[in-house]
Structure 1
Amino acid sequence: MRAERRQQVRLDDAEEVLVDSGLIDADYVAAQLGTTFESPHEAARAAVHAGDVSPHPLFEAQWIGRRRSWQRLGQHPVLWYVSERRRRNRIAPHPLADPRLIFAAHPEARHHPYGALSYWLSVSGPGTPLPTRILPKKVSWGTYRAAAIEAAAAWRAEVVRDRPELVGPAPALSAGLGTSPAVTVVMSAQDAGPLVHETVASLQAQTFADWHLVAVDRGSADDTAAVLQGMAAFDDRITLVRETRCGHARALNAALEHSTAEHVAFLPLGREWLPEMLGELLAHAHHTGAAAVLAGAGAVGRDRIELVGGRPVDLTTALLRRAAIKDVGGFDESLGGSAERDLLLRLSRDHELLAVDVPVLKRPETPATGFGDDWDSVVLERQLVDWDAAAGRETSEDLVSHVLPLGIEPRRTVEWLSSVPREGSELILVGVRLRRAHHVLAASVAAIISGARFVSVPAGVSTSAATNVGISLAAGSTVLLVRPEAMPPRQPIAERLASVVHEPGVAVAQPLVVDLDGVILSAGARFSQVNPNPELFLAGLPVSDAVRIGQCEVAAPAAPMVALRTQTAVALRGLSARFSSVLAETDLGLRARQAGLGESVVVPETVITSRTPYATPEELIGAMASLRAGSATPPPDRAADLLLQAGLEVTDQRNRRISAYPEDRTAPSVLVPDLVVRSVQGIHESPPRLRWAIDIASPAASRGDRWGDTYFARSLADALERRGQHVATDRRDARERDSRDHDDVLLVLRGLDRVTPRPGLLNVEWIISHPDMISPEEVADFDLVYAASTSWSARMTREWGTTIKPLLQCTDTRWFHPDRAEPDTGPELLFVGNSRGIYRYAVRSALAIGAPLTLHGNDWTEFVEREQIASGGVANEEVGVLYASAGVVLNDHHLDMRRDSFASNRLFDAAACGARILSDRIDGLEETFSGLVLPFDNERELARLVTPPYDAFPDNATRRQIAMRIMAEHSFDKRAETLVDDAVRHLLARG
């Protein structure tokens, strides 16, 4: 009792807090609960006690994070949120309520007792723009609130639905029923002899006796047919029809062919009717004229909405008009266990279904639903998608429609909503039985974004069937079919894929698919001549191999995103609903080719990341069985020829076993083809050609895109490629990829991570930063070691006994040269770089003397005022314009780099542009940069050197001459020449 009292106090507190904090919207709560409230306190009380109900359009407990701290503490999420002062200020309670933006606009919000959102609501009106970064344009709070309330009401209308009213007791049965017999009872029987007597006896015990039983024996191996034949000998109302082994639907259709009655009932072996069953259902049918009378036992479907929503079907408790069955074509014999659901759904389109409250079974049972079976998706999709209407609809040539069935994670939905370009793109979100939070969030956010639509599917269909719903609604001439595991691409790819699928002879295009480590997951599917199962082409190889091959035809796509013309997708009737998710695109590509609509291609310059592996073993085993059942024939395998373009040759083919339980040899499994490859030996070519793996410390995906190591590695890889080398750049997450065994050289650009050399390769380390992290044991493990400091290289070679060659940093002359801009036409004093979590020496000194500093970079708000930051960063290709036009460029180094004279990459970039450069002091500046770089030791010197007319620096003409020398001696091409020559020499010496 005491615990209950404490909990009640907490709930009462939450009610009061909701009202005081402003985090209660009575209209929004009412829309979710389907009611109205007279006061905010009443709405707060209902929200607290209702469980999964959001109190406010901008508060969603499911958005706050994975840890669900309030659940561990037994608190209501709102009470937890408003009481967590320290953590609350860092938590976004909704994707459209970013506390960082609120604090930036209203610093006083940090001191509000209920947090940033409460403060913002207290000072905002309906016209105030939402505090969010994810929307492409400003949207007012009033606009979003209206959309959220409408979405909540729509969710309730769809999901929280009352059962239909059932018709009560049966009316009196009419004396004149027309034809005799009045009812044909249909039975499909196979290998169930012991059940025959009890089942038929329940029919013979009916109070209504004008019936005819047509029992179809499906080639039983036991005495089922004999028992039925024996009972027919004593009751001329029983007819036995013998068939060979066949499906359930085929037997039912055979029975209907022998039917003459106006009504049909269905009695499977093992079910027993109550004596009044036929009479009561027949009375309802004659009284109402309904085509179908559904009694049901338990939670069975009694109307069209419930049937589409996935409720079980039980024809044992139904009475149907024979003419109505004939009108819709009888049972579809291709649908297996879902044929009964399909028949009722087709009947419900044009005929009345009558739900009655009549007990009908002696032993009520839960019928076999077929729910979750592949055929159920096929059946339900037929009701949800009108392909004929889709074929007749005009589409826009300028529009690409993204079709995305939603997964279970709302954050992924918001990522897509915020990432798809609005111009020329349409995003159709398809939700299948979503939870309230996800449904309302997706619907409301989509409603306020131009070009986005949310479609809710009430039935529990597969991802493929949900995709087809979106295809049928697409307004663009191109559709991109996206599965939930696909992450939004970092660069726009829709336009490129759309252009490819409109090329002659192309039906389906897929991007290159990589895993979270940046390693190829799939470049399409390939098939061997002896194995019907597909292999993921190029899986495990670096992206550079796919780029080297280029756009090419593949047997079929295998990706969580594919593109095709909308008319092609409609002509093929979309994805086969037999595939719950994986290999549906592969089947689509094979069917497109068989229909003569074109081939499948992979477009490697378009890349997407999958947040999961391509498929689990269980998914693959099931999907491959469905794929083998298809009639499409894969094209001849071109994998060997394509791999040669990447410098790899096929030496053998083998089969690899995939099993959900590898240790259990009896568990279900499949064999997939697996190519055995090795690298082509290119060292004796002219010029020599090697496979390089450049290892850098940057993390994968967008997290590492801004790192200097990433830019440096990209430029070095391009320079090596220009010298005929094959280069893959591996960020830290891809370091352990197995395909490194195909490489010749591992080049470690030593930054923050120590990397273990790879046995069998030529292991090269280039130390470009953080010399304090290097040990003698580390460099001793490498075959070749370079360092970006002349003095440190010489000293460590003497002390450690391992040769370390000096190899200074360099510049990419494509982007950094004096012709990028006119001198002195840009910023007077410039710094381009991220803070790295410290108040950097150059920036601190410049601001201390009041210099007119232009600052570009990330993570500076902790140290400088927001208005002092010109931008969060500049594209690497455009930095040269700033350097060439600046009055003076600032630079500084890490402490250990300054002490050991590791000249930064920024110095070489700015010097190649002919810029005037001020830097902290390191040895060798004059020898390397010939007066372009001057050191400053204190703020007084800095103040003198940054003051025009910059007499301490050479004039414009001289600086240009120096820049040209820097470009000639310190370019990435020059460094690539050194690396290739040294690598070839060492490999040849190895023999």
Structure 2
Amino acid sequence: MADRAGLGRVARRFARQLRGPEKPLTVADRLDRWARRITEFGVLDRDYLEAQTGRTFASDDEAVSFYVHNDGQRGLSLSPLVEHEWMREHQPVAAMSWYDALHQEGPELFQTGPLFDAGVYAASVPAADRPTSTLDALRHFLRDATDATALPVPPGRRGPAPTLGAARAAALASAHAFAAAQHRTRRRYRSSWDGPDTATALAAYPRGAARRDTEQPLVSVVLPVYRRGDVVGAAIDSVLAQQYANWELLVVDDGSGDDTVEVVRARARADDRIRLLERENGGAGAARNTGLAAARGTFLAFLDADNTWRPEHLTAALAALLETDGPGVHTGVRMVGANNADDATAPTETYRGEDGTHEDLLAGNFIDLNALVVRRDVADAVGPFDEDLRRWIDWEWLLRISAHAAVPAHVPVLGVDYDNVRDPRRVSSGQPSSWQEVVLARHRIDWDALAAAVPERVADRVSIVVPVFRDWTMTRRAVDTVLGAADLDGDDVEVVLVDNGSPRSVSAVLDAWFRGDPRVVLQREDRNRNFALGSDLGLARSTGATVVMLNNDTEVGPGWLRPLVAALDDPTVLGVQPLLVYPDGVVQAAGTVFGGDKVLPWHFLGDHPRYDADRAFRSPASRRTTAITAAAAAFRAADLVRWHGFDPVYANGLEDVDLCLRALAQAEPGAAFLVEPASVVVHHESRTPGRDDARIDNRRVFDERWRGRYPAPDAAERYDAAGLRYLGVDPGLPKGHAVMVRSSRPVVVRADGAATGDRRTRLRVAVKHDGSRVADVTALVTALHTAGHDVQVDMPTSWYRGSSGLDDVTVLVAGAGAAWVPQPGARNTVWLAAGQVVRDGDHAVVVPGTEDADAVVRAVTTVP
């Protein structure tokens, strides 16, 4: 036997030598290996995965393989009971992948999602059959459960535990909705033209082609141009080259003032079908409207000065239109160049053109105006282009056509060559992308209908509107605290969550966690609508007479809501915010302060100790302010509807200040906003991706709108009330952009102007604390208050807060080995514990280890 075993080893070694070295595993090999293991887990719900992807899989193996190879980009889930992001916060090792955490089958029983807690389930199983790992618990539950089985939900989930059947049905519905949204928002550009050849495409419209050739309807082509003499000739030439000849070309010069007009006139002299219309500069919408007013045709077509038509465009479009008598059609577009100059991977030639529904069009424009031919009667019915819009003018017009009649049909013929190279002369290059939300708001929110329904709102109900983007952890905490406070205080609240196009998991987790509480409404948007439109959509969905806008990174406590609602009993109060503080107790916002024209407003007392706010708001009059932050703010729903909510042209910045200024412009004299210090809300640092991407655009929009009409400066009187003196703003100029708005970093000193170290009876003392010597800190703060001093306890996150330069004394009370940077100009002190050594002690007064807090107070506040 031993000899045979030895011979076997030799044979295997020889065979390995013949095969050569083993090839290293590729990424695909590793993924395939994991796919086999995950299939063996036995937790796949294939229907659920198919609902998320819009696909059908022939087997579990195929489904899991697709999941493994695509999950990184799609954020998919294999089961309503397994949410990977939730697992990451509850599994023993957060950095481990979810399948590693289950595969290792450790003894820890943890939550795999908001609907399944392995520990809760295991506790319900008789000891003899009790699962010993999370994966075993999942398998055991799925093996024995029926649709009527209640789920072992984690502690803290509100409402009764749902049954497996009910939870699965809800999850499937949400997954189908997610897949439909993914389809609507998919990228509609293709790398090659996949339509039929022109002859084949035209063969589908025999009756229309015959009518076209017999009736010869006139097509009016509107071509607006502004300072594009270098390219407008080619655009005109492409109209001259059309196979269909019965057209008129209306070239509208929008006040170019250069050689553009001469280029057009030269071609107009050679062909009387070309007419030049000249007007003062008013923008693309106004120029197109000038052309529409002069048009004589039965059909209308559009062409921009930097694009061209292919000869078949009008021929194909008219055949299709006359075949179906629809409202309009659009041909295919070849786009040349990468519009985003920063994207080196963008293809330089793409194609677009396809059919879609009104819902598809609401999700994003897929019809280029250059490719559109529309009936004149339809254009007359929907009215002219909106001249107030600065971008997405054509999309707004198309949405009106779609709502009035139908979405223009696609003709699968390449009709347009589109110059897609980024050009600063284009309207789209100089205007913020948030104009897309402005357009969408007009077609998603009926303000007149909302105003008519105001009397139907529930009088005593407060609707909390929470926009959400890419984060469920903070949102879950925020909503849980709102509901918990309402339970304690007996308030009638509803929470309207507006998921701004987050990954699938965000809505899936929030829906699963809050579905048991009827006070929570979840609305998922196809795309990110930003704070302004997201909040407006939440307002439209709400039912309460009072509406509170609340960031998803806030945390409220009992008693926070009623002071805000009570403040609105005063008809001169238009809106009210709580005192917003960071988790370490430092003030984040106590209203908004203005420093004059061309100076951006800023948060009053931001980064200041809480006692500054207590002092600033001693009198009722001092609480009245020009503007508040919408991070947490209460309004009458009727007022918000009358003001038409937040302006979506702002992308996550200054929309709240703009709302307040618009509201005051409509209000009676004496109206104001209010800061209510009796209500305190914790505001965590935001982690929302892209939160500040449009900061410069927001400043530009705000300054253009309010230039010369900024509110009167109120900073001096506001800081005076807090015992401080406002000297102005940081003199640094704006850098890196053309919005010449001065910095809004205030320069503030002590009101008495005395230098640190002078003999004061009341000192500003900052106690730097790291959480290790709680008893010492408590005793010291008590002794300092007894001695009549102002005290701020700074945790490490606020050791170097922006207002620390105002402190007279700093005292470090920390554990062994602590180090900090002493505050220049302050009396810096270290209170040592027994045997403690602290770095930087040579820059500070050192108080030896003692339990006598009063002695420490004398040491740190007595000036030699």
* TM-score band w.r.t. shorter chain: 0.7 to 0.9
Q: 1:659 to 1:195 in 2, by over 3 A?
A: closer
**Cα distance between partner residues in 2 of 1:689 and 1:275:** 85
Q: Deviations over 1:465-488 (max 9, x none)?
A: 22211111111122222345x233
How big is the shift at 1:369? Answer: 10
Q: How does 1:557-576 map to 2 (within 5 A)?
A: 557-558=628-629, 560-576=631-647
The C-alpha deviation readout for 1:670-711, integer Å capped at 9, x for no partner, is 42244332224599999932222233223xxxxxxxx982x8
Distance (Å, rounded) in 2 between the aligned partners of 1:18 and 1:582: 44
Matches within 5 A, 1:454-533: 454-484=522-552, 486-489=553-556, 493-515=560-582, 518-533=585-600
Q: Which residue of 2 aligns with 1:542?
A: 609
Whether the 8 Å contact between 1:518 and 1:733 is mirrored in structure 2 is: no
Report whether the alignment pairs 1:602 with 2:675: yes
SS where residue 279 of structure 1 aligns?
Answer: helix
Shift of 1:743: 2.2
Distance 1:59 1:657, change over 3 A: farther
Alpha-carbon distance between aligned partners in 2 of 1:239 and 1:696, rounded to the nearest angstrom: 78
Alignment partners' CA distance in 1, 2:843 and 2:105: 52
Q: How far, CA to CA, are the matches of 1:403 and 1:6 in structure 2? A: 48
Once structures 1 and 2 are overlaid, which stretch shifts more, 61-70 or 256-265? 61-70
- Tell me which residue corresponds to 1:145: 168
Q: Does 1:425 align with 2:489?
A: no
C-alpha spacing 1:5/1:754, structure 2 compared with 1 (3 Å): closer
For residue 361 of structure 2, what is the amino acid of its counterpart? L
Give the gaps of 5 or more residues in structure 2.
1-20, 196-200, 334-350, 487-491
Distance in 2 separating the partners of 1:658 and 1:119: 63
SS at match of 1:151: helix
Distance 2:81 2:687 in 1: 34
Corresponding residue for residue 316 of structure 1: 370
Instruction: Give the drift of 1:111.
Output: 3.0
Q: Which residue of 2 aligns with 1:621?
A: 696
Query: Structure 1 residues 68, 89: closer, same or farther in 2, change over 3 A?
Result: closer
Deviations 1:301-322 (A, max 9, x none): 7442232212344111111122
SS of residue in 2 equivalent to 1:185: strand
Greater Cα shift, 293-302 or 583-592: 293-302
Residue 643 to residue 713, structure 1, CA distance change in 2 (3 Å): farther
Partner of 1:299: 352
Alignment pair present for 1:437 and 2:505: yes
Question: Does the CA contact (< 8 Å) of 2:532 and 2:651 recur in 1?
Answer: yes
The code of the aligned residue for 1:675 comes to: P
2:831–2:856 contact (8 Å) kept in structure 1: no
Instruction: Please identify the structure whose Cα radius of gyration is greater.
Output: 1
Letter of the 1:170 counterpart = Y
The DSSP-based 3-state class of the residue aligned with 1:671 is coil
The verdict on how the C-alpha distance between 1:759 and 1:45 changes in structure 2, with shifts beyond 3 A counting, is: closer
Point out the more displaced range, 112-121 or 261-270: 112-121
Paired position in structure 2 for 1:940:
none
Of 352, 356, 359, the match for 2:413? 359
1:744 aligns with 808
Alignment of 1:394-409 (within 5 A): 394-409=456-471
| Post-superposition CA distance 1:77-122 (Å, at most 9, x none) | 5642322344x83764324444555566678867338355445555
SS of the residue aligned with 1:145?
A: helix
After the TM superposition, which residues 777-792 of structure 1 pair with which residues of structure 2 at under 5 Å, given as runs?
781-782=844-845, 787-788=850-851
User: Could you say which residue in structure 1 is the equivalent of 2:434?
Assistant: 374
Moved more, 180-189 or 717-726: 717-726
CA contact (8 A) 1:506 1:601 kept: yes
Residues 31-110 of structure 1 correspond to what in structure 2 (within 5 A)?
Answer: 31-34=51-54, 44=64, 47-48=67-68, 51=71, 52=74, 53-65=76-88, 79-86=99-106, 89=108, 92-98=111-117, 101=120
Report the Cα offset of residue 554 of structure 1.
Answer: 2.6
User: Which residue in 2 is equivalent to 1:271?
Assistant: 307
Counterpart-to-counterpart distance in 1, 2:30 and 2:84: 17
Structure 2 distance, partners of 1:45, 1:529, is 62
- Give, as a single letter, the amino acid of the residue that structure 2 aligns with 1:132: P
Is the Cα–Cα contact under 8 Å of residues 553 and 599 in structure 1 kept in the other structure? Answer: yes
Q: How does 1:472-871 map to 2 (within 5 A)?
A: 472-484=540-552, 486-489=553-556, 493-515=560-582, 518-550=585-617, 552-558=623-629, 560-596=631-667, 598-604=671-677, 605-612=679-686, 619-631=694-706, 633-659=709-735, 670-681=741-752, 688-698=761-771, 709=774, 717=781, 721=785, 724-750=788-814, 754=818, 756=820, 758-763=823-828, 771-773=834-836, 781-782=844-845, 787-788=850-851, 806-807=852-853
Give yes or no for contact 1:103–1:110 (8 Å, CA) kept in 2.
yes
Report SS of the residue matched to 1:323. Answer: helix
Higher relative contact order (CA 8 A, sep 6+): 2
Q: CA deviation at 1:386?
A: 1.9
- Partner amino acid, structure 1, of 2:133: H
The amino acid across from 1:638 in the alignment is D
Higher alpha-carbon deviation: 584-593 or 223-232:
223-232
* Cα pair distance change 1:447/1:179, threshold 3 Å: farther
> In 1, distance between residues paired with 2:784 and 2:209?
91
Aligned to 2:537, the other structure's residue is in SS state helix
- Go from structure 1 to structure 2 and tell me whether the alpha carbon gap of 1:523 and 1:350 turns closer, same or farther (over 3 Å shift): same
Structure 1 distance, partners of 2:607, 2:296, is: 64
Taking the TM superposition and a 5 Å limit, the aligned residue runs for 1:253-292 are: 253-292=289-328
Aligned mates of 2:664, 2:110 — CA distance in 1: 50
Give the deviation of 1:517 after TM superposition.
5.1
**1:622 offset after TM fit, Å?**
2.2
Q: Does 1:200 align with 2:265?
A: no
Identity of aligned residues (%): 25
Contact kept in structure 2, 1:510 and 1:524, CA below 8 Å: yes
Matched AA of 2:404: D
| Residue type at the aligned position of 2:155 | R
Give yes or no for contact 2:301–2:373 (8 Å, CA) kept in 1.
yes
45 and 625 in structure 1: CA distance in 2 versus 1, 3 angstrom threshold: closer
Across the aligned residues of Structure 1 and Structure 2, the Cα RMSD in angstroms comes to 4.1
The alpha carbon displacement at 1:2 in A equals: 7.4
Q: Deviations over 1:523-582 (max 9, x none)?
A: 232222343422332122122211332371233124533322211211111111111101
Post-superposition Cα deviations, 1:25-65, rounded to whole Å, max 9, x if no partner, equal 23322322346678766755664566443111121234444
8 Å CA contact retained: 1:655, 1:673: no
C-alpha distance in structure 2 between counterparts of 1:731 and 1:121, whole Å: 47
Shift of 1:599: 1.9
TM-score by length of 1: 0.70
Q: Which amino acid in the other structure matches residue 288 of structure 1? A: T
Task: Say yes or no: does 1:132 pair with 2:137.
Answer: no
| Aligned partner of residue 294 in structure 1, secondary structure | strand
Mapped pair 1:333 → 2:387: yes
Cα separation, 2, equivalents of 1:284 and 1:518: 67
Maintained 8 Å contact 1:621/1:669:
no
User: What residue is the counterpart of 2:9 in the other structure?
Assistant: none
CA distance in 1, matches of 2:440, 2:637: 22
CA distance in 1, matches of 2:647, 2:848: 56
TM-score normalised to the size of structure 2?
Answer: 0.80
Distance 2:434 2:368 in 1: 19
Amino acid paired to 1:503: D
Secondary structure in 1 matching 2:638? helix
Q: Which residue of 2 aligns with 1:244?
A: 280
Q: Which amino acid aligns with 2:567?
A: V
Structure 1's unaligned 5+ residue stretches are: 661-665, 699-706, 789-805, 808-974
Q: Give the structure 1 partner of residue 8 of structure 2.
A: none
Counterpart-to-counterpart distance in 1, 2:49 and 2:103 = 22
Aligned mates of 1:102, 1:787 — CA distance in 2: 52
